[in-house]
Chain A
Amino acid sequence: EDQVTQSPEALRLQEGESSSLNCSYTVSGLRGLFWYRQDPGKGPEFLFTLYSAGEEKEKERLKATLTKKESFLHITAPKPEDSATYLCAVQFGSGYALNFGKGTSLLVTP
């Protein structure tokens, strides 16, 4: 059973069309939930860390929120340069690893 599930798998938006990406998790003892961005042929790039339900983080057009079961990455008025795969990961219990979901591939067209 996947511990981290991201939806949708792919999303196509017009420039300026706001939307949200979802990351749901089933682990217990969450120590942190993380969002990364990955461009084709590149390694993931860190965006945000969220630690507890109710927490929010913002960066430019991106805003991440966290509840006890899921996280949302809200994209406001996206631009074509926001096109990328967005990855969610969790760290839980005594583990060292960040456990990643399969990602949401976002395409923003002009």
Chain B
Amino acid sequence: GAGVSQSPSNKVTEKGKDVELRCDPISGHTALYWYRQSLGQGLEFLIYFQGNSAPDKSGLPSDRFSAERTGGSVSTLTIQRTQQEDSAVYLCASSLVPRPNTGELFFGEGSRLTVL
């Protein structure tokens, strides 16, 4: 069956440009997370969606980062005026139930962002 799909898989951009990263969660999954994974670092939580609303945005590192989710499905993470420290793999995960206490998240393969 279809898993979590992320695009692009790789993105190289110049410092100062804006980028959009897309996540297609598993159909019917109401919970959606964005994480960031930098070399040598653990997964860093960015934002949590329940349906189309984001009750937890506490992990967004600056106001250059924003995310939205439409139709309870696709989500887009936007990074404005990219900086070299934004270079990382951005991972999306979804779960069938809201606030998944089971901890069972289904991750995509990530979008690797390189800012030159």
Contact = CB atoms under 8 A, between A and B. Distances in A.
B115 interface: no
Given A34-B103, A49-B104, A95 B40 contact: no
B104 A43 contact: no
A49 B42 contact: no
Contacts of A99: 45
A43 B4 contact: yes
Assign chain A's interface to a size class. 20 to 34
Contacts of A4: 42
Interface of B: 4, 33, 35, 40-45, 48, 50, 55-56, 58-59, 91, 93, 99, 101-110
24 contacts: A4-B42, A34-B103, A34-B104, A41-B109, A43-B107, A43-B108, A44-B105, A46-B104, A46-B106, A49-B102, A49-B104, A91-B101, A91-B103, A95-B56, A96-B48, A96-B56, A97-B48, A97-B56, A97-B58, A98-B45, A98-B103, A100-B35, A100-B45, A103-B42
